[in-house]
Amino acid sequence: MQRITIDPPQLQGNQLVLTVPQLHYLQRVMRLQTGAKFQAIDGVGTLYLVELSADYGLVLEQSVPAGIELSVAVSLIVAVPKIGLDDVVRACTELGVSEIYPVTSDRTIVQPSEQKRRRWLEIAKEATEQSERLIVPTIHPVQSWKTAMVQIIGQRKICAARGDSQHLMSCLDLQESISIAIGPEGGWTDRELQQSIKLGWQPVSLGQRVLRTITAPVAVMSMVSGFLESPKISPYI
């Protein structure tokens, strides 16, 4: 069944006020006729079954399905690469990320605009619909790595270069939110790593291979989602 993302203010009683782009998508692109059913998510956890009218939607049912989202919140702090963050946002949304902090660091070259962040948010909405999630990840404004890393609580891991750092998979638990910082091409500088450790971040390894900045976040989310959804530990299996 076709699914769209709405903003909560679009709901007025049992009516869903559809925007012009949403009507165009449903009627012209997806060819839905009056009376057809579709699903809508409000991006914060509620699913609606809706019947299409001429210019609005009639809400038939609403529910809060369990077991679709990861059991704890997962945040990614990602040093902005020259290209490829669109794909990172899309893939990590599909894998269950809760929020993404695009950051600048000592080795960051680009300085993305607010327009770019709005594009990432649209990609996150599309990926949420495609993967049948209920919650749209938060895409924070671009900020410095230290500004982002000071405000985060819960498990805090920073991906370090190959070396003696403990592997990410061996130091996760299910008791609190998980935040993982991924550096730029060339990695975090020694200064950044040392300051992060002072702020309470634990250096971790992703293995013996060198991953690109656009590969590492997807690898991280694959490891974390696999860990959280393992049949041996997931509360939903």
In the chain, where the domains are located: 3-63, 74-228
Model confidence pLDDT, tens digit, residues 138-151: 999 999 999 999 98
pLDDT of residue 48: 95
Q: Nearest-CA neighbor of 40 among 20, 18, 24, 21?
A: 18
DSSP 44: B
Q: How far is CA 83 from CA 69, 78, 108, in A?
A: 28, 13, 12
pLDDT of residue 111: 87
| Token pair 């007025």 in the structure block, residue | 12
pTM: 0.89
The answer to whether the beta carbons of residues 87 and 127 sit under 8 Å apart is no
What percent of the residues of the chain are helix, what percent strand, and what percent coil, each to the nearest 5? Answer: 30, 25, 45
pLDDT of residue 163: 66
Task: Return the CATH superfamily for domain 74-228.
Answer: SPOUT methyltransferase, trefoil knot domain (3.40.1280.10)
- Contacting residues for 48 by C-beta, under 8 A, at least 6 apart: 6, 11, 16, 39, 40, 41, 42, 59, 61, 62
Q: Which fold has domain 3-63?
A: Ribosomal Protein L25; Chain P (2.40.240)
The answer to whether the beta carbons of residues 214 and 110 sit under 8 Å apart is no
Q: What is the DSSP string of 126-160?
A: HHHHHTT-SBPPEEPPPEEHHHHHHS--SEEEEEP
pLDDT of residue 176: 85
Q: Which two tokens stand for residue 15?
A: 């009516």
Pure H helices in the chain:
20-23, 85-95, 114-130, 145-150, 190-198, 216-228
Task: Give residue 191's identity as a one-letter amino acid code.
Answer: R
Task: Give residue 114's identity as a one-letter amino acid code.
Answer: E
Model confidence pLDDT, tens digit, residues 110-126: 888 899 999 999 999 99
Residues of the chain with pLDDT under 70: 162-163, 231-237
Instruction: Tell how far CA 103 is from the center of its chain.
Output: 15
